[in-house]
Amino acid sequence: MSRSDAAAVGGEAGGAPAPLPFAAGLVRTLAAPPLAPLSTLINKPTDDLVRHRAIWFGIVALLFLLAFNGEWRVGRDSAIYRGLGHHLATGRGYTFGIFASKTVYPGFPLLLAGIERVFGRGALAPLLVMLGLTAASMVMTYRLIALRYPQWMAVAVVALLGFNAWFIELSAELLTDVPFFLGVVLALYGWERLRLGRGPAAPSAGAGPPAAAPVGWRRFAVPAAYLLVGLVIAASTRPTFWILAIAWGAAGVWGLARGRRRKLNLAILAAMAVIAVAFVLLDPRTSGFHPLGGGAEHEVVQRLRNAGATLRENVPSFLHETFPEAFFGAEMPGVLAVITIFIAIAPALLLLARGHVLWGLFILATVAATLLTSVVPRYYLMVMPLLLLGWLLVLTEIAHRIPPRFHHALLIAGFAAVMVPNIARGVRVIADQRYRDPGHLKEWADEIRMARLIEQTLPPGARVLGPGAAIMSYFSDRQVYMAREIIPKSNNLTDVPRFLAAQHIEYAVFPSAMYNRTEWLIGELMNRGVIVPLERVAATDEMVLATVDIDLPPDGSSWRKLPETDAATIERVRELPTRTEKRDEALERAAAKVRREAKAAKARKEERERTTMGYIWRAATTPLEESPATAPAGAAATTGPSRPRTGARTTTPSGARGGR
C-alpha cells in the first residue's frame, strides 16, 4: 500500500506501528492518528478476497434467492402494513384499526398501496420489490464503505451482511426494515460524498477511490440528491429515523464546535429540520403540528417515564439474546455476554477515532434508544454495516499485536465467528421458506381460518376481539381489536372495562388461552369474567367465535381482583348454544308458554263452568224465602235455613176470617 493509500483510510505511512497491549492500543487509537488497515499486514488473504469477490457475491445472491418463495410470510406487523396499504389502494383512507392508523409511519403503506393499484392485491409484486430494495441496499453499502476504506473491507462488509440471517429473513418479509435501511445507507453515502467532494469512481483493490471529482454542479447536486432521497425515505418509514436525526444533529453540532465544514454542517442541520417539520405537518397519523401526537411517539414517552423498569427488563435481553442474535445469529449465554458489550461499544469508539463521528454516534444512539424502548434483533439492521466495519477494525487492532504468520488464521477466525452461526440460522430460515412452513401458514392457520369464518358470518362493521388481531382484520376485512386498542390513553388498567364497553364490541374469539404474552390483557379480562361469552357463532378446531357482554365491576373495585372463572375455556365455550340453537330454544320456550297458557285458560274455564252449574243447581233446589210483608201476623221469625217444600201450596180455608 502506498502512502496516499494509507492516508486515504486514515492510516500512517511506513508500515504498522509496534505492537502494544490491546487496551493501550485502543487508548492510542482514540488519542492519535488511526492505525493502518488490515490489508497492510495480510495482503495475500485480502487480495484473494477482492479477486474472488464475484464468488462471494454469487453465494450471497444464491442465499437470498433460496429464501425467496413469492409467498407472504404472514405476521402481525406485516399484516398491519398490508392492511393500511389495501385501505389506501381501495380509497378508504389511512385506516386499519385504531393502533395502525395512529402509530405506523406512512411511507411503506403508501408504497404497498401503489404496488397494489398497479399489480393487484397479490403478494408476489411487493415481495419482488423488497428483493430489489435488498439488492440496492447492498450495492449502496459497498459504495459507502469503499469511499473511506480499502476495497477488501467493502467486499468483506457486504459478504458478511449478506450472510446475516436476519437480513436474509427480512428480505422476504413485507416490513419496513429493508426500506429504512436503504434510506439510511443512501443518506450516509450522499453525506460522505459531500464531505469528500468526490465522484462515484470505483475503488482500487488496496485503498479508497481516486480523488477524481466530477465537474461543475454535479459535484454537489448528485451527492445532495442521494442524501435528501435517503432522508425522506428514512423519515417516512420508521420512527427510528429520530435516532438517526439525533446522531446527525450531534455530529453537526460537534463539527460546528470544532470549526470544520461549517457551511456543510449548517446545511445538513437545516435539511434535517426541514424534513422533520414537513413530515410532522403532513403526517396522516395526526392533524396539525403535533410532533409527539403519534402512537409510536406516545409509547416512547411512556417508556422513558419508566426508564428504570424498562432498562431492568431490556438489558439482560440485549446482552444475551437480541443483540447477539442480530450480529452473530445466536444467543450469548452466561459470561459470554461480555462479547456483546464489546461488539456494541468497540466499533463505535474505533469509528469515532477515525473521524467518522456520525457513524460512531449512530451506533451508540441506536444501542441507547433500543435499551430505553424495546430490544428486537431486526432493529439493529440499520447499523449492521457499521458494526461489521467496526469488527474488521477490531481485527486490525488485534493483527498489529500478533506475529504476521497468524494473520491469515486471524482473518479466517474473525470471518467464521460471524458467518458460521448466521449461516446455521439462515439455513433454518430457508428451510422454513421452502419446506417446513412456507409463508407461516401453519403457524397462523387457526387465525386465518377464524378470519374466514368472521368474514362469512359477521356483517361489515362488526367489532371483534381476537388473537393475532391484525392478521384476522386483514383476512376478514372486519375490525378485530388487539390488546393495545382497548387500553385508554391514561394507561390505567383499572379503566379498561369501561373503555372496552364504550367501544361497543359485540364479538370475541375464545378461549382465553389463545392470547399470548403481548395480548395477555384480553385473556385476563376473559378469565376474570369481564368479557362474558353469551352464544356461539362459529368455531374452528382450536377457536370459538361468540357474542359477548361486558360485565363492569362495581364502582370503586378493580376488575383484577375479581375471582377467576372457567367460562372462557374452550370446553365451556363449546357448550354454549349457537345462534340457531338459541333461536330454536327460544321458539320452543315460546310455544311451551303458549301451551301452558292455553292449558291454564282451559282449566280456568272449566272451573268457572263448574262454579256456574253448582250455583244453578243450588238455586233450582233451594226454596224461596217469604217476604216480610206477606208473612202471617204473629208468625215467629225463622232463624235457620229454609226447608224445602213438600206438597201443594198452603192456603187459608175459605170462610175463615178471624171469627171468634
**DSSP β-ladder status, 507-510 and 544-550:** antiparallel
CA distance 233 to 251: 21
Specify which of 149-163, 340-354, 637-651 reaches the highest per-range mean pLDDT.
Answer: 149-163
Reported as a single tens digit per residue, the pLDDT across 14-41 is 333 334 344 444 444 444 334 444 444 4
CA distance 262 to 581: 78
- The pLDDT of residue 622 is 66
Question: 206: pLDDT confidence band, cut at 50, 70 and 90?
Answer: very low
pTM flag (> 0.85): no
Question: 51: pLDDT confidence band, cut at 50, 70 and 90?
Answer: confident
Kindly list the domain boundaries of the chain, sorted by start residue: 39-72+123-436, 445-576
- The pLDDT of residue 261 is 79
Question: 466: pLDDT confidence band, cut at 50, 70 and 90?
Answer: very high
Give percent of the chain with pLDDT exceeding 90: 43
Question: 624: pLDDT confidence band, cut at 50, 70 and 90?
Answer: low
Reported as a single tens digit per residue, the pLDDT across 613-622 is 766 766 677 6
- The pLDDT of residue 198 is 57
Tell me the helix, strand and coil percentages in the chain, rounded to 5: 65, 5, 30
- The pLDDT of residue 5 is 39
Across 31-52, average pLDDT: 59
Q: Residue 175 half-sphere exposure, CB side, CA atoms within 13 Å?
A: 19
- The pLDDT of residue 484 is 84
Reported as a single tens digit per residue, the pLDDT across 581-605 is 665 666 666 767 777 777 787 777 7
- The pLDDT of residue 202 is 47
- Check pLDDT > 70 for residue 201: no
Q: Write down the mean pLDDT value for the chain.
A: 82
- The pLDDT of residue 596 is 77
Cis-peptide, bond into residue 641, ω within 30° of zero: no
CA distance 383 to 376: 13
504: left (phi over 0), alpha (psi -120 to 50) or beta: left
- The pLDDT of residue 353 is 83
Q: Which three cell numbers stand for residue 61?
A: 445472491
- The pLDDT of residue 186 is 97
Reported as a single tens digit per residue, the pLDDT across 63-74 is 999 999 999 999
Across 477-490, average pLDDT: 84
Give DSSP secondary structure letters for 97-114: HHHHHHHS-SHHHHHHHH
Phi (first) and psi of residue 545, to 5 degrees = -95, 130
**CA-based angle 201:205:159, to the nearest 5?**
95
CA distance 167 to 247: 23
- Check pLDDT > 50 for residue 640: no
Across 293-301, average pLDDT: 83
Residue type, 170: L
- Check pLDDT > 60 for residue 8: no
479's enclosing H/E stretch is strand 479-481
For residues 532-553, b (16+ Cβ closer than 10 Å) or e, as one string? bbbebbbbbeebbbbbbebeeb
Longest CA span, the chain: 181
- The pLDDT of residue 131 is 96
Give CA 553 to chain center in angstroms: 30
- The pLDDT of residue 9 is 41
Number of H helices, E strands in the chain: 27, 5
CA distance 429 to 436: 9
Q: In a 10 Å sphere around its CB, with 0-12 CB exposed, 13-18 middle and 19+ buried, how is residue 46 labelled? A: buried
- The pLDDT of residue 508 is 93
Reported as a single tens digit per residue, the pLDDT across 167-187 is 999 999 999 999 999 999 999
Question: 190: pLDDT confidence band, cut at 50, 70 and 90?
Answer: very high
Contact between residue 253 and residue 314 where contact means Cβ atoms under 8 Å apart: no
Among the listed ranges 197-211, 327-341, 488-502, 555-569, which one has the minimum average pLDDT value?
A: 197-211
- Check pLDDT > 70 for residue 232: yes
Across 349-363, average pLDDT: 90
